[in-house]
Structure 1
Amino acid sequence: MSGSWSPPPGSWASSESRRRNMQAIRSRDTAPEWLVRRLVHAQGLRYRVAARPLPGLRRTADMVFRPTKVAVFIDGCYWHGCPEHYVSPKTNPGYWSEKVAKNMARDRDTNERLSEAGWTVLRFWEHESPDTCALTIAATVDKLRAGRGRRDRD
């Protein structure tokens, strides 16, 4: 390897350390997701993890309850533009702000498409209480089951 590092052509990384940092960020199985999943599972609910609710739609929900058509997303404050916690980056702000804006637009589009297909979409921010998220998820799934006349678990 040569002594100086330079980003590949068209790279979003402004430095080698920034590149390593961004590559290490998890897109699934984050700590907030694990906490909520553990609490929901403890309530006896079963679900699919990181699954596509609609086969033809290249969007993945964090938790999917297929029989009741509930899709759960636990959004990171930075990547999804949390109104309370998002702070525009100091390095390459144009690129990152545009990326977050695209993520937000995709989230709205996902919500709309799933709703049109008869799904209930639940979105939570990573900073929300895992207990509150789990209770909301369980109550929603139970309500939809009761409306269908089913009491068994997914």
Structure 2
Amino acid sequence: MRVSCLTRDAKFGKVWWLKVVSADQGQRPQPKSREQRGSPQPLNEGRSRNMQANRRADTKPEMALRRELHRLGYRYRKDHRLDLDAGVRVRPDIVFTRRKVAVFVDGCFWHVCPEHGREPTRNDWYWSPKLRRNVERDRLADAALAEAGWQVVRIWEHEDVQDAVNRVRTVVEHGFDITASH
């Protein structure tokens, strides 16, 4: 059943519409539950809060690198979306647009660091494919950026800030990364 009502607000001269629709029409779809998405149930509230606190941007290693680059006089864009050919979208952590340099600061867990990354022991049916997809997405992003003429620098979160700054400076100033660790 649909009901429409037009009322006029005398004070402000505005026209208001009231629209009532039946329960099965015009409603937003409900978000999927954890079970419907295929996500594992959290083991406890502490673990759940811990996982929710993981940030996509402005992580401590990323901010330390940005702070040091800025202190040295480098100017860049943060979390700048790059729309590449074939509809590929990439969002590096730090972007030097004029030099076409994209910098990613990767977390050891999320991007499977060969030095510190480890396979999760719980809910591995969920985490193993997810982490593999993260690594594959990184490789595809690197390839798309390289094809578009961009230099890519990937830095692990455990790397020393000064070493990371030196790697970024080398690429920005000279156009190549001689100490790539990925």
Same fold (TM over 0.5): yes
CA contact (8 A) 1:53 1:66 kept: no
Match of 1:108 among 129, 134, 139: 139
Q: Distance in 1 between matches of 2:105 and 2:91?
A: 11
Query: Which runs of structure 1 show a deviation greater than 6 angstroms over 4 or more consecutive aligned residues?
Result: none
Q: Do structure 1's residue 46 and structure 2's residue 72 form an aligned pair?
A: no
TM-score by length of 2: 0.71
SS in 2 for 1:124: strand
Q: Do structure 1's residue 90 and structure 2's residue 116 form an aligned pair?
A: no
Gaps of 5+ in 2: 1-32, 176-182
The structure in which a higher percent of residues are strand is: 2
CA contact (8 A) 1:70 1:122 kept: yes
Q: Do structure 1's residue 30 and structure 2's residue 59 form an aligned pair?
A: yes
Match of 1:14 among 41, 44, 52: 41
Alpha-carbon displacement from aligned partner over 1:76-121 (angstroms, at most 9, x marks no partner): 0000010111111121012111101000000000000000000000
Match of 1:57 among 75, 85, 88: 88
Gaps of 5+ in 1: 1-6, 145-154
Q: Which has the higher contact order (CA 8 A, sep 6+)?
A: 1
Point out the more displaced range, 71-80 or 131-140: 131-140
Equivalent residue, structure 1, for 2:17: none
Point out the more displaced range, 18-27 or 58-67: 18-27
Equivalent residue, structure 1, for 2:154: 123
Q: Distance in 1 between matches of 2:101 and 2:83?
A: 11
CA contact (8 A) 1:114 1:121 kept: yes
Matched positions, count: 138
CA drift of 1:133 comes to: 0.7
RMSD: 1.6
Task: Name the aligned partner's letter for residue 68 of structure 2.
Answer: L
TM-score by length of 1: 0.83
Alpha-carbon displacement from aligned partner over 1:32-53 (angstroms, at most 9, x marks no partner): 0011111111111100001123
